[in-house]
Amino acid sequence: MSWNDFHQRQHAIATVLDTARQNPSQALDQVPAPFSDATELLRALQYKWTQQLTGRIDVALAETGDAADGDRIQAVTEAWRRTAAANPALRDLLDQHQANPVLRADSAREHRMLALASGLAEPGEPDAEVVRVGQAFLQLVRATPTEQRKSCLLSLR
């Protein structure tokens, strides 16, 4: 991919996200070039989300690792919440299309990453179980009020 292609893709993604902020239901009605279809665009949007989330989780875990009383669960929780707060249109758009089979594997990878990064699962555990734990973790992160979140997440251990 050339720099020109990269910039065209970034501009197209920004345009879609601007549309999503103004009218979420029409964000994917017209797929901008250079994307060929909604599938390709959804994958690019998911990739953007994953890049930002992974970066925030890496930083949070590095900071937690340096703290004497570091809490991986809280670090991953806050990283996910900060990523969602910084990218509300992107997160909403992905949530609207979460049932799309195109995003199924990406969602499973995200759940796996969350379970492993938080320490709620180990790499040697069956993948389906790790994904299930990550999915439950994310449901708690999204559904639990801030002051109750930590105690609920600790109960997953």
pLDDT tens by residue, the chain, 157 residues? 788 888 899 999 999 999 999 988 888 888 999 999 999 999 999 999 999 999 999 999 999 886 655 699 999 999 999 999 999 999 999 999 999 999 999 999 999 999 999 999 999 999 999 999 999 999 999 997 665 445 555 555 4
Q: What is the C-alpha separation between 122 and 115, in angstroms, rounded?
A: 8
Domain boundaries, the chain: 38-154
Contacts of 16 (CB under 8 A, 6+ apart): 27, 28, 32, 41, 45, 93
How far apart, in Å, are the Cα atoms of 87 and each of 18, 55, 104? 11, 14, 20
Query: How far is Cα 131 from Cα 113, in angstroms, rounded to an integer?
Result: 8
CA 14 from centre of chain? 17
* Residue 79, both tokens: 């990283």
CA nearest neighbour of 113 among 154, 71, 66, 52? 52
CA 120 – CA 114 distance, rounded (Å)? 8
